[in-house]
Structure 1
């Protein structure tokens, strides 16, 4: 049976934000699954009160917990990194917010969840399906739901221009609630062009993107973020990719690593990238990452 000789993820959540287990349990599970590198990425504190984001009053405890785990697992052969999944949301949060600097992070993920702007009721593209349906119909009462992806891809492009992060999170998260094309056509030329425009900008800025398997493990998606056609374009443009489990529970760790490798190969990639030290990314050949279970 094929297994991963080298496993890593830089997208991990815990009870400090919206995860279902503490950091120690998540680290232990990763170690048991032979991970060599693990990044914790709590949803960053933002100006809104939410159940999903790390509150500022827990920030010091979060930093201490992850740094302690890094010291514990380093002698065992697993490197642990301290990160945040930051938000690009005008009027709410920005990846380059200087308020995060005292945390001395190893890295930041830049993500778009909110597609609203100041003056609009804030909602996210990945909220529960029924809740999303109510919000989007109120937001676009004329029924032109192309507005969803237009705003999303605009925010992604703006986020890339603003910077302040290392990894682009779940590049096309906008599709999460678009099961069977309920809200818009993901094959529409205008949609593809908007996605590619953001992608091309990411290539110019030399950002790393992730194959995010959270859509497979936690929702009804059969493919990761981004879709294969986007990954193929990323490969053509020379965008480096890494793996993000987007794990919110121990059961999300390790189960899609091989799937990520297979999809990367389908997209034309020969290697993935992993962070070996803050700001230091190394290449791992896909062929060397696979092995046989003995």
Structure 2
């Protein structure tokens, strides 16, 4: 029997909706057999979407309780989506290491800082993106995008997570190709350089469906042409929803799995019985042993 997995999820401990148990019940209804919680890690900069440090202990305890309560029905894993802010937060920061996580997702949400020291959030509102582009990079979009991918490579080389989250999320700011285009040589060079580092690091690259089911993008993170390069480099992938609501846990999974099959992928890498394993899949789900 085939079933789904999802390791990128958010609940009410960060910017997601509802308590963790509600997500588990929804996951079971959607045919999910392995589920990972990955709340945004606490940060030392103010945001509206990260877990508060004072809630971290409760988060860990609640997920552990659910592991025991639902162990006969579903495998549950404790993770966090960890930002990479050198000198502040990364997957090897003491408070992340001390959490005893089952896995980490490493994502780039911030690139450099404004003059007052405030980190520039690159995947938030577009006006904030444009302000950082103007104030930090003098409007040079190539330099800003290159910095994003440089930061990604720096994370993979110095504090590598288990999973690379939405590796090309910066494309959400492209203004439908008017501000910058994935077809430009300089952009493709940055992506390919990042994939080379990813291959060397051993990281898993997630195929993240959120941009599609939220109707912000025509395809997943990363784009199809990038996935074709990932296959050539034999970098492992997994399918994740980046869900923030119980209804999103398997959103666009069947379509994305079909697309990945069409490209030529045969397996997804999953955390199963506390080990990373490669398992076959179809558009109907994964064959989990």
Shorter-chain TM range is over 0.9
Select the residue among 242, 246, 256 that pairs with 1:246: 242
Match of residue 267 from structure 2? 271
In 2, the alpha carbon distance for the partners of 1:65 and 1:106 equals 14
Equivalent position of 1:43 in the other structure: 40
Q: Which runs of structure 2 are paired with 1:100-249 in the superposition (5 Å)?
A: 100-117=96-113, 120-141=117-138, 143-249=139-245
Segment of structure 1 superposing worse, 225-234 or 179-188: 179-188
TM-superposition CA deviations, 1:22-68 (whole Å, max 9, x none): 21111111111010111100111111122111111000100011111
Figure out how many residues of one structure are paired with residues of the other and give that number.
285
Secondary structure of 2:48's partner? Answer: coil
Check conservation: 1:108, 1:166, Cα contact below 8 A.
Answer: yes
Pick from 75, 84, 88 the counterpart of residue 88 of structure 1. Answer: 84
Q: TM-score, normalised by structure 2?
A: 0.93
Structure 1 length normalisation: TM-score? Answer: 0.91
Q: 1:66 and 2:66 equivalent?
A: no
| C-alpha distance after superposition, 1:224-279 (max 9, x if no partner) | 1000111111111010101111001112112211122022123321111211033x
Contact persistence 2:110–2:119 (CA under 8 A)? yes
Q: Which moved more, 1:218-227 or 1:35-44?
A: 218-227
Classify the secondary structure of the residue corresponding to 2:232: helix
Looking at structure 2, the residues matched to 131 and 186 of structure 1 have their Cα atoms a distance apart, in angstroms, of 21
- Distance in 2 (alpha carbons) for counterparts of 1:269 and 1:259: 14
* Residues 276, 282 of structure 1: 8 Å contact kept: yes
Indicate how the Cα distance of structure 1 residues 27 and 179 shifts in structure 2: closer, same or farther if over 3 A, else same: farther
The runs of 5 or more residues in structure 1 that have no matched partner are none
CA distance, structure 1, for counterparts of residue 15 and residue 120 of structure 2: 16
